[in-house]
Chains A and B, each alone.
Chain A
């Protein structure tokens, strides 16, 4: 059996005969003491989030998941369509499984999809994604008193993000998908 060191985002874990996809995991080492892994995972089907703590090295029932690089194509109703870059096959994934990550999807970007028994179960985004700013309010004079003034812009995929006031319409920016925040100009 596999153990805690095999846990990664998108892995599927069987717990009490139910399947969960790993949303987030974190190593916790209290002081110099024992090391633990805290895993937040989502029930496949019900969508309920649970959190479990395992001692590092503890056996975990990770079901076989294949990770494939796919290109995001388009949104089709409640589903998102992706194309497998190695065999050009297309799959659709439900919005519930993608969750909050859906807002970062943009036509043509590569993501890693976890496949379990031929079905997509998880998605991993690149750490940083480039977007074109399509709507930006002009900078207002006198705004800069705090030194860290931001404004909200809209990106080419509809994502709303806070950026520094000097960012203009038409510019390409990088957004960090781990923090959800503006990183730099692309």
Chain B
């Protein structure tokens, strides 16, 4: 929504801003009425996440004793929220700013953006899908709309949303069984067959997305919002395996070809989690990126959670959580042209 001048002289952008306010209110109403509690966690982190392809933004803090803390701004509140699960909170949500360096400042990206994350512990991934679908529908009803909009396309969203496994998508768009492409060698052959070049340094995930981004993603969520679930286990460093250990509990939400949210059946095994985060850290280092230790407090929080899991069947702690980009959600709900139209005084606005 840009500048104050645009808000006062551009009724279209003003309407988008007014709707953003309504959306924020509806989100809070939705979660409180569903029994969630709103929490706040730190933006400045001593130990940020280890995602190999994200760039946490450095921040220098100085205290009264002139101690310098060279920390980073969060790329998501994920670790902190899971620590709160370890403290015994069962249903929590947070709406807050996150920062990711090295990204675009136009289209669907911004270096500073707003994330909504929520967690259920105990909770299943299907519960999180239900939450997501209900949340969007509540917002649309509040705005008096029945569809989402992206790139000039209207996507009806009040009927039942599609839920489809990646395996089915590979069958539909590539006519192959994904089971046979869970190793990098076979997947590389598939990539070449569909005309994608691969490189020797590609990891499994890279080859996967070369295929996915070109052959599958543009088709997703065009007729109605679509949840894509069950990702190859090796691609999910924070999620637990499904009943079939080749796959992991993760889903993404697509609307009109745009990725809006990413959810995990949370991995609660501290040793396995530590191993995976260290592998991510090693990859960061290999990619020439800044590195820092794996947050030890996060691992001990998982130890606490996995102890709870050892309790009787009833208390069997499974956790599900999701990260949803609020700005992208506002774009979809208001029909804005791009992300800069829904962020007041965005980075791009401050430059021009």
Q: How many residues of A contact B (CB 8 A)?
A: 33
A35 interfacial contact with B, CB 8 Å: yes
Q: Give the residues in chain B near A5, CB-CB below 8 Å.
A: 102
Q: Give the residues in chain A near B54, CB-CB below 8 Å.
A: 29, 32
Which listed residue, A36, A150, A181, touches B213 by the CB 8 Å rule?
A36
Which listed residue, A53, A55, A184, touches B10 by the CB 8 Å rule?
A184
CB pair A53–B214 under 8 Å, yes or no, is yes
CB pair A164–B9 under 8 Å, yes or no, is yes
Q: Which residue of A lies closest to B261 (CB)?
A: A31
CA distance A164 to B12 in the complex (A): 8
CA distance A58 to B250 in the complex (A): 28
CA distance A35 to B205 in the complex (A): 10
A60: shortest Cβ distance to chain B, in Å? Answer: 12
CB pair B209–A58 under 8 Å, yes or no, is no
B272 interfacial contact with A, CB 8 Å: no
Which of B12, B210, B338 is packed against the most chain A CB atoms within 10 Å? B12
- Restricting to A22-43, which residues have a CB under 8 Å from any CB of B? 26-36, 38
CB pair B104–A26 under 8 Å, yes or no, is yes
Q: Mark B38-73, 1 if CB is under 8 A from A, else 0.
A: 000000000000011110000000000000000000
Q: Mark B1-35, 1 if CB is under 8 A from A, else 0.
A: 01101101111100100000000000000000000
CA distance A35 to B289 in the complex (A): 14
Q: Mark B70-99, 1 if CB is under 8 A from A, else 0.
A: 000000000000000000000000000000
Q: How many residues of B contact A (CB 8 A)?
A: 48
B235 interfacial contact with A, CB 8 Å: yes
Q: Give the residues in chain A near B8, CB-CB below 8 Å.
A: 184
Q: Which residue of B lies closest to A30 (CB)?
A: B209
B109 interfacial contact with A, CB 8 Å: yes
CB pair B337–A179 under 8 Å, yes or no, is yes
Q: Mark A76-106, 1 if CB is under 8 A from B, else 0.
A: 0000000000000000000000000000000
Q: Give the residues in chain B near A57, CB-CB below 8 Å.
A: 287
Q: Give the residues in chain B near A28, CB-CB below 8 Å.
A: 213
A147 interfacial contact with B, CB 8 Å: yes
Q: A32-B51, A164-B10, A183-B2 are in contact. Are A178 and B106 (CB under 8 A)?
A: yes
CB pair B209–A34 under 8 Å, yes or no, is yes
A171: shortest Cβ distance to chain B, in Å? Answer: 10
Q: A34-B203, A35-B53, A128-B352 are in contact. Are A182 and B213 (CB under 8 A)?
A: no
CA distance A32 to B11 in the complex (A): 36
Q: Which residue of B lies closest to A31 (CB)?
A: B262
B124: shortest Cβ distance to chain A, in Å? Answer: 19
Q: Which residue of A lies closest to B55 (CB)?
A: A35
Q: Give the residues in chain A near B217, CB-CB below 8 Å.
A: 30
Which listed residue, A55, A56, A127, A128, touches B199 by the CB 8 Å rule?
A55
CB pair B12–A181 under 8 Å, yes or no, is yes
- Restricting to B239-256, which residues have a CB under 8 Å from any CB of A? 250, 252
CB pair B337–A38 under 8 Å, yes or no, is no
- Restricting to B137-153, which residues have a CB under 8 Å from any CB of A? none
**Top 6 A-B residue pairs of the complex, sorted by shortest distance between their CB atoms:** A31-B262, A35-B53, A184-B9, A179-B337, A184-B6, A184-B5
28 A-B interface contacts by CB (under 8 A): A5-B102, A28-B213, A30-B209, A30-B213, A31-B252, A31-B262, A32-B53, A32-B54, A33-B205, A33-B208, A34-B53, A34-B205, A36-B209, A36-B213, A53-B213, A55-B210, A126-B352, A127-B352, A148-B11, A178-B337, A179-B338, A179-B341, A181-B12, A183-B6, A183-B10, A184-B5, A184-B6, A185-B9
Chain B residues with a Cβ under 8 A of chain A = 2-3, 5-6, 8-12, 15, 51-54, 102-104, 106-109, 196, 199, 202-203, 205-206, 208-210, 212-214, 217, 235, 237-238, 250, 252, 259, 262, 287, 337-338, 340-341, 348, 352
